[in-house]
Amino acid sequence: MGSGGAPEPGLEGLTGKRRVGVMGGTFDPIHHGHLVAASEVQSFFDLDEVVFVPTGDPWQKADRDVSPAEHRYLMTVIATAANPRFTVSRVDIDRAGKTYTIDTLRDLAKALPDSELYFITGADALAEIFTWRDTDELFELAQFVGCTRPGYSMDPEVIAKIPADRITMLEIPALAISSSDCRERRHRGEPVWYLVPDGVVQYIGKHDLYRKTPSDKDRA
């Protein structure tokens, strides 16, 4: 929300606090690993808030079907509702075209000019950061936090290319959970309880997401 002007689309709920985490993702579906990572980073950096930003049309996911943005947005709202430090933005969903992280950070930097941004992402995604658009500007707009799983080792050559004062690696045990595993469990008719928040499990069941056959419908 720029001073003296109207907020950018999808940014009306942000408060303009000084230290803001930004967690972008497809969230298809959002799971406890995402939430634990956001909470750990919030605590580690003493962030005022963490903004979850569901992607609109993710350029990296062109090789697979992605659930409609509105479903992914609503699941993220449900999952984050209990934590007063968590908010959800529609900025990527409401922007036309493919979703690129640089556009997300530009919009948020414009909306929150007095805030320091901390972009939270998985270490596996961070390993591909030099394939992202306008990489140099990314590091100017935000601190990067790479969340790693226990035992994960990121390519030291990639880390060496990232400005040392713009990256922090943080180990998050719960990141053993993955959205793809949750989807595959639903495909097989297996439960996803305790992998994703209860409200999201109910939303998935109500809207029959991630099913292959109608016969699986009542076996969430």
Q: Is residue 12 part of a domain?
A: no
- Mean pLDDT confidence for 36-61: 92
Q: 171: Cβ–Cβ under 8 A, 6 or more apart, which residues?
A: 147, 148, 149, 150
Q: Is residue 194 part of a domain?
A: no
- Rounded CA separation 197/177 (Å): 12
Mean pLDDT of the chain: 88
134 token code pair? 């306008």
Q: Is residue 207 part of a domain?
A: no
The range of the structural domain enclosing residue 91 comes to 19-176
Q: What is the DSSP string of 32-81?
A: HHHHHHHHHHHHHHT-SEEEEEE-SSBGGGTTS----HHHHHHHHHHHHT
| Count: domains in the chain | 1
pLDDT digits (tens, 9 = 90+) for 161-218: 999 999 999 998 766 789 999 999 999 999 999 999 999 999 999 999 998 754 434 4
123 token code pair? 């270490």
Q: Is residue 218 part of a domain?
A: no
Q: 57: Cβ–Cβ under 8 A, 6 or more apart, which residues?
A: 66, 69, 97, 98, 99
Only one residue has tokens 């936090």, namely 145
pLDDT at 50: 98
Do residues 154 and 126 touch, judged by C-beta distance below 8 A? Answer: yes
pLDDT digits (tens, 9 = 90+) for 1-10: 343 444 455 5
pLDDT digits (tens, 9 = 90+) for 18-32: 899 999 999 999 999
Using alpha carbons only, how large is the chain's radius of gyration in Å? Answer: 17
Q: Is residue 196 part of a domain?
A: no
Q: Is residue 38 part of a domain?
A: yes
> Which CATH number fits the domain that encloses residue 147?
3.40.50.620
Q: Is residue 41 part of a domain?
A: yes
pLDDT digits (tens, 9 = 90+) for 85-126: 999 999 999 999 999 999 999 999 999 999 999 999 999 899
- Mean pLDDT confidence for 60-75: 85
Only one residue has tokens 């939430």, namely 35
Q: Is residue 193 part of a domain?
A: no
User: 10 Å Cβ neighbour count for 13?
Assistant: 12
Amino acid at 76: T
Residue 140: phi and psi, rounded to 5, are: -75, -30
